[in-house]
Amino acid sequence: MTRVFAHPDQAAFSSAKYEIPVLLFGRVQVGGPPNAVGNQVRRQLARLDLPIEQSAYDFLAIALAVAAADRFALRSAADDGFGRNIEVTVGLADPARWTPVAKKLERALGFLSGDQWHFNFVAGGDTVPSHKERSRLKNKVDLEGADEVCLFSGGMDSLIGAIDRIADGHRPLLVSRSTRGDGGYQTYLHGMLPEVPSLRINDDIRGELQGEPSTRTRSIVFLALAACAASAISRLHNDSIVPLIIPENGFISLNPPLTVRRIGALSTRTVHPHFISSLQAIFDEVGIPAAIENPYFFKTKGEALRECRDQPLVTKLISKTTSCGKWKRYWQQCGRCVPCLIRRSAFHAAGIADETATSKHVGYRFDDLNDALRTDRDRADIRAVSAAIRRVNGGDFGKWVIRGGPLPLDPTARNEHKDVARRGVFEIDQFLKDLGIDA
């Protein structure tokens, strides 16, 4: 078992037992813990012009600790080379509120990352930014009129989601987990939208340990930041529950394994309906005033794009979004990974010209997918998608979708989830066929 101790007070580390120390809401300093996360998070959240609920802020502390543990605990050191056994002790301002839901949180994160998680919550955590602390900061985020929070990553679905929410008369606060490279796209796209507030924060994980590349819990901080923002907006509406919108197409949300060896191992399950319902139950129990919604659970990416409420605006901006998980390697989207294939299929299905341009590069690294078919490494994802297409056409469909995670018991919802997965596969199939690609 790998023991992680995450706390905002440097003095707390002297008596704790751990292999991996992580300073919360701080930075690495000489003589202090060699790992830290969230250095600017508190200051950035203090820019909100309304106070945050402590329950949401403690959830953010947990999320930061989890993200750091996920980055510092190597899967290669696990007995099976993948599933880790991680104990995380987190300093919270109100640990008594969170201790009763520890087991639920462990199960939810186990589903998310494929690891065994164990939580201990101890006292001494940060309290929410005070009125005095908030009042002395400049560049405030004006929440006047805001009625919901919408995650805004700079990807296709998040842009469609923001455009649709605004077109429907909402005033969302767009919340972004802003990392190197992504921040520029988020800033540009936000500036092209009708005026709505935004909040962009980098969790800033720093440390001496080698980084674990899989980071399947990476979006938990994104959700925690949004929960904090929702709790602030709740003050505007008599402490009522605030919608927390996660725009993600139904096919990606389900994350079905494209081959037997890919049981969701290469991507996160953050938007899977099972994880969303598990996290919502935790929010309800600890009193976080946010209701998680995904308006595209039953739409493919192409359908969401084609049915966007403001076609002139989405057509103008959609090519400026990013989908590729490895685009920062070359500062160009590859065009042949699974997210890129789904992206390109969506343009094709919606009948919108794909004018993708990333950084200094126009188009995809593999504009012609035949070039990607020439090497085993480059054609792996195309062949995995082709295997999924054959599985759908062969009729072994329902079992395949459920391998990505449990579906709701309600038969109507189950069938709708299965059907959107089927349509998502067919979208890619049609795109490849029309290109004449035989993988």
**How confident is the model over 130-144, as pLDDT tens digits?**
999 999 998 999 999
pLDDT tens digits along 9-43: 999 999 888 999 999 999 998 888 999 999 999 99
Is pLDDT at 61 greater than 80 in this prediction? yes
250 and 385 in one domain? yes
- When divided into structural domains, the chain yields a total of 2
Res 259: pLDDT: 59
Separation between Cα atoms, residue 145 and residue 171, nearest integer Å: 7
Please give the pLDDT value at position 262.
44
Q: Residue 198: name the closest of 139, 129, 280 by CA.
A: 139
How many residues are given for the chain? 439
> How far apart are alpha carbons 82 and 67 in whole angstroms?
16
Tell me: do 191 and 294 sit in the same domain. Answer: yes
Helix residue spans in 51-174 (DSSP H)? 54-72, 95-98, 102-113, 131-135, 156-167
Same domain as 109, residue 201: no
Biggest CA–CA distance in the chain, Å, is: 64
Q: Say what percent of the chain tops pLDDT 90.
A: 75
**pLDDT by residue (tens digit) across 369-396?**
999 999 988 888 898 888 888 877 776 6
- Phi, psi (deg, nearest 5) at residue 290: -135, 140
Residues 75 and 158 in one domain: no
78 and 182 share one domain? no
Quick check: is 88 in a domain?
yes
More confident residue, 292 or 215: 292
The mean pLDDT value for 212-226 works out to 89
Q: Are 197 and 341 contained in the same domain?
A: yes
Report yes or no on 210 lying in a domain.
no
In a domain, residue 141? The reply is no
Same domain, 98 and 157: no
Same domain for 307 and 426, yes or no, is yes
Residue 136 lies in a domain: no
pLDDT in tens, 115-131: 999 999 999 999 999 99
pLDDT at 267 over 70: no
Please report whether residue 318 resides in a domain.
Answer: yes
Query: What is the rounded average pLDDT for all residues in the chain?
Result: 92
Residue 382 tokens, joined: 């195309």
Question: What's the CATH number where 176 sits?
Answer: 3.40.50.620
- Whether 49 is covered by a domain: the verdict is no
Given a cut of 70, whether residue 260 has pLDDT beyond it is no
Q: How sure is the predictor about 398, in pLDDT bands with cuts at 50, 70 and 90?
A: confident
Question: What is the rounded distance in angstroms from the CA atom of residue 243 to the CA atom of residue 235?
Answer: 13
Q: Do 280 and 170 belong to one domain? A: yes
Residues 192 and 75 in one domain: no
Q: Say yes or no to pLDDT of 261 above 60.
A: no
Is 81 within 8 Å of 75 (Cβ atoms)?
yes
Domain C-terminal end among 62, 92, 127: 127
The answer to whether residue 223 scores a pLDDT higher than 80 is yes
107 & 180 share domain: no
Question: DSSP string spanning 200-225?
Answer: EE----B-SSPPPS--TTTHHHHHHH
Please report the pLDDT score of residue 210 as a whole number. 67
Can you tell me the mean pLDDT for 417-425?
93
The answer to the question of residue 138 being in a domain is: no
User: Using one digit for the tens of pLDDT, what is the confidence trace for 163-199?
Assistant: 999 999 999 999 998 776 677 889 999 999 999 999 9
On the question of pLDDT at 54 being above 70, the answer is yes
In a domain, 161, yes or no: yes
Domain ranges, residue 327: 148-205+217-435
Looking at the fold, whether 172 and 265 belong to one and the same domain comes out as yes
